Chain A
């Protein structure tokens, strides 16, 4: 066979597999509906649809020479054709034969083209189908209550008229979609960078504006010089005047550029976001593509165990990213198996308990905020807390004391522990060596959470919370020991500032109380095994973020908070297959790589790290000072504010922020500040006026004021010091060490 022929036939086979898979899924779900005994009208449509599916499957199988598959599909088609003619008697045995045929085709699909296929002659199955099509009655007498109006089988294509009109679609390989997604992600990074550029441009504009204004102030002095001076100075003065005009012109140009650029940026941002959400939408699949398959599985499993189970599915049109949908398929299957195996009791046992003989499993998907929730509930026997206790004790996972300290909810979560299985019997379908710990791991890999609760009617309720998409996420940016890290916002319950005095020890664990709840406190540095740096940690308060996985909450102390951001999640590549405490990385607008932390891991690490924590705590406690000094930072540039805030906070100061002089005075009313750092050029009230007001105020006249300006002009310096400023600093060549040293001297 030539190479091109080979690839062609491979492509054809791949297409066939996809198509056949779809037909099989549809047939399975249709058959399940028929088995439930629907209304005659509905039944008629169902049979009609089944017939059409079988017919198409037959045609497709013929096209690729899959003879046996074609034969079975043909057999099915005949059975459905007979059912349409009302010539058939349904029995459980018939349904079994039909399911078996579907399974046979499904198996044949996998072995297609291999040697096994040849040995797979389904003669016996074919004979049974033929018999069924001829209306050969078996055990039961139940007649399929089919239609009165008899439609001819040949009207297969025309009968689609009553069916819902379907949107036109094309099949696109996911590889192509993934490629598109990657490009859009890149575009998103460019967008973020572009916005960064815009704010840089704004800074330049602001700088030029300030420069221009301060230059303008020299005009009177220049005029005076011109009057009283000879030619040489005159020339310089007029040169200065010219330059002032140039500067003004420059400012206008910059301003225009800024305005146009910001308009363009906004437009590009909008288009990019639209594009991103469109592409994301393309990758979204309804959960029905996996949910529908579970019906069959639950039915088979229940039958095998002599149980009666009704699977009630709601919200199957909820859409999720393809990767997430794929990722939850197996965990959900396992949980459903668990419910049938261990949750739902046998009919007689249920009757004895006063429950209906038929158990119910609810599978519900719904959108919740930024993610979706999937619940698997059953009305079975529920989780046996006593048994969990015994197992936990027997396996030495927890001591009896620890168990006593836990509430029922926490104890229930123990079933997700590795190596934990309370079931004494293992069925053929469940078990298979996979425990709930694997379910948990799989879901955590999708940035999701899974937890177990007591169900309403006494059964069990599993709750899975998932993000809508894996590719972008909102994160909280925090810093620790000089590095920035990202934590998915969805995992952060709240952010608090904790006074060190309020930290107490339980055993070796540092503990804090937040909202009436005791939480163990971990420090991010040791948690991430970061090299210890010599920091003068003299802060009296800690920035603490409370993160949670399922019902577990841990408080984590970080050095500082840097804001929230929408980011594109990227992988660290094949070489970093799985890094402890890390779930991925992202590139910020600045081009810098930031590590995204894995909250589930952090919670685990926090439990392990208690010992290390205690040691580090001792080291730090020596550094404690008296009251924390607080600094008011006044600047109309956000960048400057944040920059100064970070420097000050890392040096252990409390920081209060204000936009301009007016805000600063307001802030002074409600805050005790030990020092004020102010910009000069600000809207509403500038730095000079602010300084004057502070120095004339009875309560604040002793509070040092540091004036910081973009430009070092002697005139400004003089004016500032005249107004009462204690120190005058320039932003140009801003030196962190010098800055902190100055402040330290003042307070």
Chain B
């Protein structure tokens, strides 16, 4: 989108604005022109798309995933997991998160990715996406990072096929950014089976 801070490592919204104040007139003009162009483009889309969003990255086996912070309620150590019988394989079980029963899923199983051998899987990332309350199992929660839309590349190194739709893209270093909203609202995610 040609924004001036496109390639920067740490695109912080506020500091950018401070920097902009010290620019000379021509530069300000350019910035404003850029902004105008950007705003015009995203009119139908979410207008916050240009602002960097916060993501949490976590590891499952060798893979790194990223989830937008706004959907994360908390991260808890995985304790007292109860198996939910008669559920698909991607449902790992249920845990008690402060009185609330929370189903826990394994995103890698859902994506048909090969299971890695060495896994501790001792963290649950508790998510609330709309009405859906669930947890994702993880080996380790690594980092909180700011990512602008353009920093999420489109090349998919590890995923293919039908599950591509749940991936926003891949960020450096090989972090698979999940489209958690789409994922949570997908029919395949909901267990609805009769005997």
Q: Which residues of A contact B (CB under 8 A)?
A: 185-186, 189, 483, 528-530, 570-582, 585, 587, 590-595, 601, 604-605, 608
Contacts and interface: CB of A to CB of B under 8 A. Distances in A.
Residue of A186, A577, A579 ringed by the most chain B CB atoms within 10 A: A579
Residue of A185, A186, A530, A592 ringed by the most chain B CB atoms within 10 A: A592
8 A-B pairs with the lowest CB-CB distances in the bound complex, closest first: A528-B85, A580-B86, A593-B82, A604-B195, A577-B192, A578-B192, A601-B195, A592-B80
A570 B101 CA distance: 7
Contact of A571 (B95, B101, B195): B101
B99 A582 contact: no
Given A577-B191, A579-B191, A580-B193, 12 more contacts: A528-B85, A530-B85, A572-B101, A572-B103, A573-B133, A575-B189, A576-B87, A576-B94, A576-B103, A576-B191, A593-B82, A601-B195
B83 A530 contact: yes
A587 B96 contact: yes
B92 to A, nearest CB: 12
B133 A575 contact: yes
Nearest to A529: B86
B132 interface: yes
Contacts of A483: 82-83
Interface in B20-65: none
Nearest to B131: A574
Interface string B82-108: 111111000100111001111101000
B42 to A, nearest CB: 26
B185 to A, nearest CB: 10
A193 B96 CA distance: 14
Interface in B106-165: 131-134
Looking at chain A's contact residues, is the secondary structure mostly helix, strand, loop, or mixed?
mixed
B15 interface: no
Interface in B158-195: 184, 189-195
Contacts of A571: 101
B194 A574 contact: no
A237 B111 CA distance: 69
Nearest to B87: A579
A3 B22 CA distance: 41
A63 B134 CA distance: 46
Contacts of B82: 483, 585, 592-595
A591 B184 CA distance: 26
B88 to A, nearest CB: 10
A104 to B, nearest CB: 37
Interface residues of B, number: 29
B190 A579 contact: no
Contact of A605 (B83, B132, B189, B195): B195
14 contacts: A189-B99, A530-B83, A573-B103, A574-B133, A575-B191, A576-B91, A577-B191, A578-B194, A579-B193, A582-B86, A591-B80, A595-B84, A595-B94, A601-B195
Contacts of B96: 587, 591-593
A149 to B, nearest CB: 60
B184 to A, nearest CB: 8
A574 B190 CA distance: 8
A686 B95 CA distance: 42
Contacts of A581: 85-86, 195
A371 B191 CA distance: 30
B49 to A, nearest CB: 27
Contacts of A594: 82
Given A576-B103, A577-B190, A529 B85 contact: yes
B144 to A, nearest CB: 25
Contact of B94 (A578, A580, A593, A601): A593
Contacts of B84: 572, 576, 579, 582, 585, 595
A76 B134 CA distance: 54
Contacts of B80: 590-593
Contacts of A582: 84-86
A592 B94 CA distance: 9
Nearest to A525: B85
Contacts of A574: 131-133, 190
A186 B95 CA distance: 16
A747 to B, nearest CB: 34
A280 to B, nearest CB: 18
B192 A573 contact: no
Residue of A578, A587, A590, A604 ringed by the most chain B CB atoms within 10 A: A587
A575 B134 contact: yes
Nearest to B82: A593
A587 B101 CA distance: 8
Contacts of A587: 96, 99, 101
Contacts of B193: 578-580
A570 to B, nearest CB: 5
A591 B77 CA distance: 14
A573 to B, nearest CB: 5
Contacts of A590: 80
Contacts of B87: 576, 579
B127 to A, nearest CB: 10
Contacts of B131: 574
A593 B103 CA distance: 10
A20 to B, nearest CB: 31
A592 B80 CA distance: 6
A185 B191 CA distance: 26
Contacts of A575: 103, 105, 132-134, 184, 189-191
A578 B191 contact: yes
Nearest to A524: B85
Nearest to A590: B80
Given A572-B94, A579-B193, A608-B195, A595 B134 contact: no
Nearest to A578: B192
Contacts of A595: 82-85, 94
Contacts of A601: 194-195
A439 to B, nearest CB: 16
Contacts of B191: 575-579
A608 B82 CA distance: 25
A572 B97 CA distance: 12
A530 B189 CA distance: 21
A91 B194 CA distance: 52
Nearest to B83: A483
Nearest to A587: B96
A529 B84 CA distance: 10
A594 B189 CA distance: 22
B195 A585 contact: no
A579 B132 contact: no
B85 A573 contact: no
Nearest to A603: B195
B102 to A, nearest CB: 7
A593 B81 CA distance: 8
Nearest to B105: A575
Contacts of A185: 99
Nearest to B98: A186
A572 B100 CA distance: 9
B86 A573 contact: no
Contacts of B99: 185-186, 189, 587
Contacts of A186: 99
A528 B86 contact: yes
Contacts of B86: 528-529, 579-582
A594 B85 CA distance: 11
A483 B85 CA distance: 10
A608 B194 CA distance: 13
Residue of A574, A577, A578, A592 ringed by the most chain B CB atoms within 10 A: A574
Contacts of A577: 190-192
Nearest to A185: B99
A379 B20 CA distance: 87
A86 B145 CA distance: 83
A528 B96 CA distance: 21
Residue of B95, B99, B102 ringed by the most chain A CB atoms within 10 A: B99
B176 to A, nearest CB: 21
A529 B191 CA distance: 16
A693 B150 CA distance: 84
A595 B96 CA distance: 12
